[in-house]
Amino acid sequence: MTATSASSLEDFIAALPKVELHVHLEGSLQPETLLTLADSHQLSDLQRSLEEIRSWYEFRDFPHFLEVYRHAVQVLRDAEDFALLAAETIRSLARQNVHYAEVNFSLCDHLERGIPAEVVFAGLEQGRTQVEAEHDITIRWVPDFPGDFGVAAGERTLDAVLTHGPASVLGFSIGGLEVDREPFADLFTRARAAGLRSLPHAGETEGPDRVWSAIHALGADRIGHGIGSMRDPALVDYLREQQLPLDVSPTSNLCTRSVASLEEHPLPRMLEKGLLVTLNSDDPPMFGTDLTGEYRTASRMGLGPAALAQLARNGVQASFLEPARKTALVAEIDATAAQHDAAS
Ligand code: ADE
Ligand code: ZN
C-alpha cells in the first residue's frame, strides 16, 4: 500500500461514524491511570513502571489474561475511581467518532471484593452524564459476571442490578472462563423478564456447544465473540438465517491466544457466510488496540473499505439504539463511504 492510500484508509476509518458494542470498562483502564490509582490507594503490588505494566499485559493464554484483569481491577475502590475510568473511556470512544456504545462492566468482581453496587453505579453514571453532555455519544451499561464464579454470584449480581441499577442499564452478560452456560438458564430468564437484554460471551475460547446453549438456555440477543461457531455448519446456517449478531474482536482473540494468528482468525469467513458480524475492541489498552485499531486490523486481514463500512452498519443494526437514530447513523455511514469511494 502506498503512503497516500495508507493515509486515506486512516482518514476513512477516522471519519466513519461508529458504534462499539463489546468493550469492557475495566479492560479500558489506561496503564497511566492504573498507576495513578495504585499510587493513590498505596497498592504496592501495582506500583510499577509503565514498561512493567506493558509487559504484564503480554498474555500466555486466556486464563492468564483473566488473572491479570482481575488483579488490575483492584485499583478501583471509590466512586471517583469509577467516574474517572468511565469518563476517560467514553472520551476515548468519542475521539474515535463512536456515537453509541454498549459498555460491559465487571459488577460481580467489584461486589465480590466488597465494593457496594451503589458506589459502582454512582461513579459510572457521573462519568457517563458528564461526557454525554460534552460529546455526541450515548452510553448504555451491560453489567457482567464471570461464569466461573458460579450461579450464586450471578444471582447476587442480578439482584444488585435490579435494586440499584439506573435506567441506562441495558443488558446482562456472562463472561470469565467459558464454563457450561446451561446452569445459568434460570438466571437469564429472570434478567430478561426484568427487561434486560441477554448479551453473553460464547464461542470465545470454546466451541459451538457454548454458542448453542447461549442461544437456547440464555436466549442470547447477541453473542460476544462467537468465533467458535464456525466449527459447526448447522450453527453457521442458524446464525445466518436468524441474523443473530456476533461481536467480534480479532486483536483480543490474538492476544489471549484464542487464535494462533490473524491469518487463522475467522472474521473474513464469517462475513463471507453472511453472518451479522460487528467489530469491537473488548479490552483495548490491555490488547494494545482501540476500535479504530480494530478497523485497521480488519483491513490488514484483507477487508476492503466497503467491508469496513458494512461492519460499521452491522454495528448499528445489531445495537439497541432507537430506530430513528439507527436510520440517521446508517445514512451518515453511507455518506462517508460514498465520499471515500467505499460504497458497496
Ligand atoms: N472479562 C473481560 N474481558 C473478557 C473477555 N474478553 N472474555 C470474557 N470475560 C472477560
Ligand atoms: Zn468481552
Q: Is the model's pLDDT at 344 over the cut of 80? A: no
pLDDT for 343 equals 76
pLDDT value of residue 6: 77
Question: What pLDDT sits at residue 82?
Answer: 99
Report the separation in Å between the CA atom of 56 and the middle of ligand 1, taken as the mean of its atom positions. Answer: 17
Are the C-beta atoms of 194 and 214 separated by less than 8 Å? Answer: no
pLDDT reported for residue 162: 98
pLDDT at 176: 98
Other CB atoms within 10 A of residue 61 CB: 12
The response to whether residue 69 sits with its C-beta less than 6 Å from ligand 1 reads yes
Asked whether residue 62 is domain-assigned, the answer is yes
In a domain, 133, yes or no: yes
What is the percent of the chain with per-residue pLDDT over 70, rounded to a whole number? 99
Number of domains in the chain: 1
Q: Are 7 and 90 in contact (CB under 8 A)?
A: no
Average pLDDT, the chain: 97
pLDDT attached to residue 1: 42
Is the residue at 273 inside a domain? yes
Structural domain boundaries, residue 181: 6-339
CB-based contacts of 142: which residues, under 8 Å, 6+ apart?
102, 103, 104, 105, 169, 170, 171, 172, 173, 197, 199
Question: How far away, in angstroms, is 224 Cα from ligand 2 center?
Answer: 6
Ligand with an atom nearest the CA of residue 174: 1
Please say if 332 is a catalytic residue. Answer: no
Within a domain: 185: yes
pTM (predicted TM-score): 0.97
Q: What is the pLDDT of residue 7?
A: 82
Residue 205 maps to a domain:
yes
Mean pLDDT of 5-16: 92
Q: Which residue in 88, 204, 206, 294 is the catalytic one?
A: 204
Mean pLDDT of 48-60: 96
Cα distance between the two ends of the chain: 21
Among residues 293, 255, 254, the alpha carbon closest in space to that of 92 is found at: 293
Tell me the CATH number at 116: 3.20.20.140
**Helix segments in the chain, DSSP class H:** 3-15, 31-40, 50-56, 62-72, 79-95, 107-112, 117-134, 151-164, 185-193, 208-216, 233-242, 250-255, 267-272, 291-300, 305-318, 323-339
Full strand arrangement of the beta sheet holding 246-248: 201-202, 223-225, 246-248, 277-279
Please determine, for residue 4, whether its predicted confidence score (pLDDT) is greater than 70: no
Query: For position 5, what pLDDT does the model report?
Result: 77
Q: How confident is the model at residue 3 (pLDDT cuts 50, 70, 90)?
A: very low
In this predicted model, what pLDDT tens digit does every residue of 185-209 receive, in sequence order? 999 999 999 999 999 999 999 999 9
Pocket test of ligand 1: the residue of 23, 29, 66 to mutate, having most ligand atoms within 8 Å of its CB, is 66
42 CA distance to ligand 2 middle (Å)? 29
C-alpha cell at 145: 459476571
226 lies in a domain?
yes
Written as nine digits, the cell of 60 is 500466555
Question: What pLDDT digit, counting tens, does each position of 79-132 carry?
Answer: 999 999 999 999 999 999 999 999 999 999 999 999 999 999 999 999 999 999
Ligand 1 pocket test, candidate residues 23, 28, 144, 256, most atoms within 8 A of CB: 144
For residue 225 and ligand 1, the question of a CB distance below 6 A is answered with no
Out of 45-54, 127-136, 270-279, 307-316, least confident range:
45-54
Q: Does 344 fall in a domain?
A: no
User: pLDDT at residue 138 above 80?
Assistant: yes
Q: Which atom of ligand 1 is nearest to the CA of 176?
A: 9
Cβ atoms of residues 344 and 310 within 8 Å:
yes
What's the CA dihedral at 238, 17, 135, 327 to 10 degrees? -60
Domain membership of residue 315 (yes or no) is: yes
C-alpha cell at 16: 466513519
